[in-house]
Amino acid sequence: MPIQRQTWQRLTPRNDLPGLPCPHCANGKIKLVKNGLVSLEPKHVSDWREKNPDEWDFVFATERWSASMRCDEATCGEVIHMIGDIEVVEADVDLPGGTSTGAYEEVLRIQAVFPAPPLFRVSDSVPKRVKEQLELAFRMYWTDVSACVSRLRTAVERLLDDQGVPKERLLTKGKKAGKMHRMSLHERIDSFASGSAHKDQLQGLRNIGNLGTHGIEDVEDADLFDAVDVLEFVLTGIYDSKTINAKAGKLKSKKPKS
């Protein structure tokens, strides 16, 4: 299922923390517990404001906050913590008479969430070493998009390992014939998915993961969300197709009762 992009926002109003999916169960959403949001202003900020009242401006506001969340699924009740700071943004404020004006608004910037909610629900069929990389990617989402897509690339590497794709091959031509050649991820994907619909999908994940690994600033949230959608589709196709085909075969072979 494509990721619900509007849910995954790092900036949020104080009274509207996002209802992210529970990292423990498959059904719940995380919700703020009563009095669970705590916000504090550093002393050096309040001292500076008191000493320089004429120079103080709303955009200098600084606070650190934490929020205690809990899964709303009664049988789960997982506990999740968010932390962050505030950010001042421009916003439209509605005025009487149907007009509006520009103003500044303080919003919460989410800097970390633990345990990290999954960007997509990972099937139980996915092997542990792939899951480990996905969980690291889910943590990185809040702090570093490039690091996040880099972890998705590593998940692809672990997928190929699980599928038995070699990391080396014997050269048969040229001056280095007879020697072992360490295969690039590009070559490993071609070896695994040649002639498969997954080939272009995995190569796309490799490319965006390379950009993230090299710290390219052009990696944006939209790129990450595209990568998440692609990787979820690939994992489903590889690890869940057997289960789906078995169920389809069971339905096909079912005969009417005599």
pLDDT tens, position by position, 100-157: 776 778 899 999 999 999 999 999 999 999 999 999 999 999 999 999 999 999 999 9
Give the model's pLDDT for residue 95: 66
258 — pLDDT class (breaks 50, 70, 90): low
Give the model's pLDDT for residue 61: 84
Whether the Cβ atoms of residue 99 and residue 115 lie closer than 8 Å to each other: no
**pTM across the whole model:** 0.85
Q: Are residues 41 and 149 in the same domain?
A: no
pLDDT for 51-69, tens place per residue?
998 888 877 888 999 999 9
Q: Are residues 65 and 165 in the same domain?
A: no
Q: What range does the domain containing 161 cover? A: 118-238
Q: Are residues 208 and 186 in the same domain?
A: yes
Q: Are residues 189 and 83 in the same domain?
A: no
Tell me phi and psi for residue 62, to 5 degrees: -140, 125
Q: Is residue 186 domain-resident? A: yes
pLDDT of 45 > 80? The answer is: yes
Q: Are residues 140 and 31 in the same domain?
A: no
Which residue do the tokens 């692609």 mark?
Answer: 230
Q: Are residues 187 and 161 in the same domain?
A: yes
pLDDT of 88 > 80? The answer is: yes
Q: Are residues 16 and 106 in the same domain?
A: yes
Q: Are residues 139 and 207 in the same domain?
A: yes
Q: Which of 94-103, 146-155, 204-213, 243-252 has the lowest mean pLDDT?
A: 94-103
Round to whole Å and give the CA distance between 10 and 147: 16
